[in-house]
């Protein structure tokens, strides 16, 4: 499966119009569905980024010892969907005020972060965060960091498209996490 994912990303990238966006929004299982199926998005891969160790896997990351975060890396065509729109989707699927993780998932690996890949992404993300802060939508401060991208480590195969492969378990986990209640309260019904 990893070979197929990388082949799709490679072929799309080879066309010259592909760009990459990386977001940490807590459990990566919950961050795949909002992006998959969008026109212009060719792949959404769960993985790890931002840590201090040379490699990352689920066991190491979940121990908290590597300082990596769970992320999704999105390959997209900017002629069909903008980075600004991807960032907007990110904000509408996280609690940007939670400093200790996301919803029921606690720990550094579940914190929210936007990893930028170039100056344009950094500018867009910072402007978006500022607009959100000024909107007054949240009473608490926005704690989501916007930092440079590092090496990306794809997650294990069983994590990829978990919400499709384990539908009932995923729905149960998501329901109990409180994510959907939070999103509906602040944004109304959104993609999940």
Q: What are the residue numbers of the active site?
A: 27
C-alpha 93/C-alpha 101 separation (Å) is 14
C-alpha 183/C-alpha 176 separation (Å) is 14
CB 187 within 8 A of CB 92: yes
3-state helix, strand, coil in the chain (%, to 5): 40, 20, 40
CB 89 within 8 A of CB 34: yes
Residue that the structure tokens 């919400």 belong to: 163
Surface-to-core class of residue 85, CB atoms within 10 Å of its CB (0-12 exposed, 13-18 middle, 19+ buried): middle
H or E element, residue 135:
helix 119-135
Judged by DSSP in three states, 51 sits in: coil
Query: Which residues are within 8 A (CB) of 93 and not within 5 positions of it... i.e. 6 or more apart?
Result: 25, 30, 31, 34, 179, 183, 190, 192
């Amino acid at each position: 499966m990893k070979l197929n994912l990388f082949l799709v990303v490679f072929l799309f990238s080879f066309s010259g119009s592909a760009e990459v966006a990386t977001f940490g929004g807590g459990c990566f299982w919950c961050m795949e569905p909002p992006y998959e199926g969008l026109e212009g998005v060719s792949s959404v891969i769960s993985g790890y980024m931002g840590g201090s160790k040379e490699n990352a896997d689920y066991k190491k990351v979940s121990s908290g010892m590597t300082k990596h975060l769970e992320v999704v890396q999105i390959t997209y065509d900017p002629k069909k969907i903008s980075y600004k729109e991807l960032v907007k989707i990110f904000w509408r699927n996280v609690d940007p005020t939670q400093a200790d993780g996301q919803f029921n998932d606690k720990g550094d690996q579940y914190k929210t972060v936007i990893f930028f890949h170039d100056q344009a992404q950094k500018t867009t993300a910072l402007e978006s965060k500022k607009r959100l802060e000024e909107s007054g939508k949240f009473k608490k401060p926005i704690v989501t960091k916007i930092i440079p991208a590092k090496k990306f480590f794809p997650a294990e195969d069983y994590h990829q498209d978990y919400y499709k492969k384990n539908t009932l378990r995923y729905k149960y986990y998501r329901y109990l996490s409180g994510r959907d209640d939070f999103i509906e309260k602040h944004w109304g019904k959104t993609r999940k």
